[in-house]
């Protein structure tokens, strides 16, 4: 089981570019591996249903035996993937031998019969033998009567309304109607006089709905002739009219007109106002069965053009609930699902009712917003995975956008007043890496010129293809808005988050275009080099060093209004990741040995960062280390490692006794701060314990501190609370420091 899950999730990662870049060959490979797995699960079922269409859409050869492909397609039909029916026929038509084609068609017919019968029309084994409480013989009426009498005796009931055939609480009428057995249905009605509108116990579904969901026209018409309620009972969540897509194309107008004539409602009747959370069917990857819908919007979700035409002819409103932009509105559903043929049918119908005067709906920008906000869907229908799974081609996407764009233009719409919306939408698409959608919008005439946010988002993702696209349509690499006046794209690129893509193309391009590697001295913002080092992007940091990056550039430290270099920033934040960054900055290995002359050496290996990391206070890197009080074991370990790495360099070890006029040496600062880890390293590396601030040596400072026992010194109370546990901890640290300094001061416990 873990293997199939891992393979399917890797396929999804390539589709969504989660931690990787889209690669059609690798996406297809992992989907194929998920499909080949012998572990049956939902992911395995999806992989088998999608494998052929995804490979075909991406132009990747499907390297499996035809017999295997046949099994996948036919099993998927049984599981409710109705798109696989048409795909099976396409594959069948490619067979050279007539005998093979006949065998394919025969097997396909058997699987469709199973789907529309035991699988309840949606691929769920509601009436499979293993789910039945008793095997009822629907083909031998005498045997059926005996089965019923045995059930009466066993259950102690006298009406077939009280007989349930499966785990869902479906009755015998549901069973006969779902199996499409008109003979058994007639027999049950004529002999046992049942309630033809009896709800099942799980979903309040009637026999008529069971017949329609399986596409059984004769059973549905028979029940309607008997007066079956087309809208179901009081608690029914769906009606028979929602399942027109299950019928053969030629049967759709017949059953639709009969249902409407019997009183079926063409609109959402309000019973399903909210989304369901529990999956109704395995094959429903998009969650269509969970959405509140109208009969017309459900027909669109199922991509049934015959059902759409039939419902429109009967008076269904394609603009129903347009103001809500929800799954109930047919025109919204057609647009967000990128179904241009159905969308054109709906719009043509709308215009014909209005005297061919176009009625305003929404443009392509609003449609994309609706889709990304999931107002009408359970999943993002514009995502690569959704489009591949639903077999939506790039042309279908472009055509849908063009239809909405041109309609807005015909209505006199001016996109000048929608510039902010266009930039907002395109920015979101850039952030998501939807290059094809961005390109489609730009081809429609939307402009990216003068809008820094687009390039900024591309920088944050280090998206080379998006960057090239924006450049192609006039985006500028020089930021113009006042918000980013002190920054350039190189800084933003270097400060990108960890989910961004690897690669140096954009950085090299920006440097070649003469963007400054170092910010202005007075800016005080973090440099690109500092950001790259802090993020452990050492490849980018090397490139910046090669182009003149200043490793001693000072910027405002985030937690204090003082300027510091990246050296000080790292030491001030002892973490395992920052230890790695410090090793890069100092160009040393884990033991503190220089990497100069080795393949692991950074650029400009002979240059080390300045020991003074804060020019304003003249503090050294050791002073910064001394000031930070580690509170967790990982911090203590990282801080110890950092100080040891710093002192491994002769240049810094020679400055171990460097003293400032206000705070003295790093040893004095570490002593006052109860920083046992830094004191230990300084003493072990030869720090002079007699140097202080004036006459205040570390030992004298300790004497003064011990005078306040048992209270914690005021300066430490902002870090540690003044409770008994904290007091014991701090005084224990001071005692150990005293021993290191040779003072041998103790406290009475």
The phi and psi torsions of 620 (rounded to 5 degrees) equal -95, 175
**pLDDT at residue 18, rounded to an integer:** 86
pLDDT at 724 over 60: yes
Query: Is a pLDDT exceeding 50 seen at residue 187?
Result: yes
Quick: pLDDT tens for 27-75.
999 999 999 999 999 999 999 999 999 999 999 999 999 889 999 999 9
Mean pLDDT value of segment 481-497: 80
Q: What is the DSSP letter of 198?
A: P
Task: Count Cβ neighbours within 10 Å for each residue of 297-329 and write b for 16 or more, e otherwise.
Answer: bbbbbbbbbbbbbbbbebebbbbbbbeebbbbb
Helix (H) or strand (E) holding 659: strand 659-660
- What average pLDDT does the segment 196-218 reach? 94
**Where is pLDDT greater, at 312 or 496?**
312
CB contact set of 487 (below 8 Å; sequence gap of 6+): 479, 519, 525
Average pLDDT, the chain: 90
Percent of the chain with pLDDT over 70: 95
Report d(CA 626, CA 649) in Å as an integer. 18
SS3 per-residue string spanning 230-294: CCCCCCCCCCHHHHHHHCCHHHHHHHHHHHHHCCCCCCCCCCCCCCCCCCCCCCCCCCHHHCCCC
Selection from 622, 742, 594 nearest residue 682 by Cα: 622
pLDDT at residue 294 in the model: 94
Are the C-beta atoms of residues 433 and 461 closer than 8 Å to each other? Answer: yes
Q: What is the pLDDT of residue 743?
A: 60
Q: What is the pTM of this model?
A: 0.88
- Token pair listed for 522: 């007075």
Closest by CA position to 300, among listed 262, 334, 270, 252: 334
Domains of the chain in sequence order: 2-116 (no CATH), 117-265 (1.25.40.20), 554-741 (1.25.40.20)
- What single DSSP character describes residue 60? -
Query: C-alpha 386: how far from its chain's center?
Result: 12
Residue among 497, 503, 501, 458 nearest 477 (CA)? 458
Top pLDDT among 263 and 235 is at 263
Work out the average pLDDT over 480-505: 81
Q: What local confidence, expressed as pLDDT, does residue 748 receive?
A: 45
pLDDT band with cut points at 50, 70 and 90 for residue 741:
confident
Tokens representing 278 are: 């529990």
Which residue's structure tokens are 């410090």?
582
Whether residue 558 is predicted with pLDDT greater than 70 in this model: the reply is no
State yes or no: cis peptide before 710, omega within 30 of 0: yes
pLDDT confidence bin for 749, thresholds 50/70/90: very low
**Alpha-carbon Rg of the chain, whole angstroms?**
36
The predicted model gives 94-98 an average pLDDT of 78
* CA contacts within 13 A on the Cβ side of 590: 2
Alpha-carbon span 287 to 268, nearest angstrom: 18
């Amino acid at each position: 089981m873990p293997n199939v899950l891992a393979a399917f999730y890797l396929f999804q990662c390539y589709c969504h570019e989660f931690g990787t870049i889209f690669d059609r060959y690798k996406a297809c490979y992992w989907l194929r591996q998920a499909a080949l797995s012998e572990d049956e699960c939902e992911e395995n079922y999806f992989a088998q249903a999608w494998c052929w269409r995804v490979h075909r859409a991406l132009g990747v050869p499907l390297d499996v035996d035809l017999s295997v492909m046949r099994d996948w397609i036919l099993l998927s039909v049984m599981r409710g993937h109705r798109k696989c029916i048409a795909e099976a026929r396409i594959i069948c038509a490619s067979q050279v031998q007539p005998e093979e084609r006949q065998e394919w068609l025969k097997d396909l017919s058997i699987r469709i019969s199973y789907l529309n019968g035991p699988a309840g029309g949606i691929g769920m084994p509601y009436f499979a033998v293993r789910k039945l409480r008793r095997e009822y013989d629907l083909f031998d009426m005498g045997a059926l009567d005996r089965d019923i009498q045995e059930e009466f005796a066993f259950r102690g009931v006298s009406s077939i309304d009280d007989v349930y055939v499966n785990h869902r609480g479906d009755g015998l009428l549901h069973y006969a109607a779902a199996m499409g057995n008109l003979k058994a249905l007639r027999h049950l009605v004529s002999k046992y006089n049942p309630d033809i509108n009896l709800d099942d116990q799980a979903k309040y579904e009637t026999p008529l709905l069971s017949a329609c969901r399986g596409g059984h026209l004769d059973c549905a018409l028979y029940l309607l002739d008997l007066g079956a309620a087309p809208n179901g009972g009081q608690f029914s969540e769906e009606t028979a009219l929602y399942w027109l897509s299950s019928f053969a194309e030629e049967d759709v107008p017949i059953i639709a007109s009969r249902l409407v004539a019997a009183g079926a409602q063409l609109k959402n009747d309000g019973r399903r106002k909210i989304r369901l959370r529990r999956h109704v069917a395995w094959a429903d990857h998009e969650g269509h069965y969970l959405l509140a819908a109208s009969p017309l919007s459900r027909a669109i979700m199922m991509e049934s053009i015959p059902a759409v035409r039939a419902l429109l002819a009967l008076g269904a409103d394609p603009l129903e609930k347009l103001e809500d932009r929800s799954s109930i509105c047919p025109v919204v559903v057609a647009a967000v699902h990128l179904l241009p043929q159905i969308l054109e049918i709906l719009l043509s119908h709308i215009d014909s009712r209005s005297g061919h005067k176009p009625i305003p709906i929404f443009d392509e920008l609003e449609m994309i917003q609706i889709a990304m906000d999931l107002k009408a869907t359970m999943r993002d229908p514009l995502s690569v995975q959704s489009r591949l799974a639903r077999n939506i081609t790039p042309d279908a996407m472009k055509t849908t956008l063009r239809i909405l764009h041109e309609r807005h233009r015909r209505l006199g719409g001016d996109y000048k007043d929608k510039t902010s919306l266009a930039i907002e939408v395109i920015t979101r698409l850039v952030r998501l890496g939807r290059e094809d959608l961005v390109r489609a919008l730009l081809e429609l005439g939307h402009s990216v010129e003068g809008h820094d946010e687009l390039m900024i988002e591309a920088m944050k993702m280090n998206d080379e293809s998006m960057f090239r696209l924006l450049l192609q349509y006039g985006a500028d690499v020089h930021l113009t808005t006042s918000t980013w006046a002190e920054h350039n794209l190189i800084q933003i690129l270097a400060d990108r988050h960890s989910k961004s893509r690897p690669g140096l193309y954009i950085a090299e391009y920006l440097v070649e275009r003469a963007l400054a590697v170092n910010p202005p001295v007075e800016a005080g913002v973090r440099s690109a080099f500092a950001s790259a080092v802090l993020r452990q992007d050492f490849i980018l940091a090397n490139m910046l060093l090669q182009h003149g990056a200043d490793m001693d550039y000072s910027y405002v430290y985030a937690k204090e209004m003082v300027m510091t270099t990246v050296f000080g920033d790292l030491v001030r934040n002892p973490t395992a990741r920052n230890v790695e960054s410090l090793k890069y900055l100092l160009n040393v290995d884990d033991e503190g040995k220089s990497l100069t002359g080795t393949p692991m050496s950074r650029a400009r290996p002979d240059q080390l960062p300045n020991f003074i990391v804060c020019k304003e206070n003249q503090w050294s890197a050791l002073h910064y280390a001394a000031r930070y009080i580690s509170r967790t074991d990982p911090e203590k370990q990282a801080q110890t490692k950092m100080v040891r790495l710093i002192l491994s360099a002769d240049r810094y070890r020679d400055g171990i006794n460097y003293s400032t006029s206000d705070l003295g040496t790093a040893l004095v600062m570490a002593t006052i701060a109860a920083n046992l880890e830094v004191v230990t390293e300084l003493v072990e590396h030869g720090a002079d314990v007699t140097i202080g601030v004036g006459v205040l040596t570390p030992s004298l400072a300790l004497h003064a501190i011990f005078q306040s026992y048992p209270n914690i010194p005021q300066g430490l109370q902002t870090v540690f609370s003044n409770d008994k546990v904290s007091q014991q901890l701090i005084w224990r640290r001071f005692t150990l420091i005293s021993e290191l300094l040779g003072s041998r001061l103790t406290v009475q416990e």
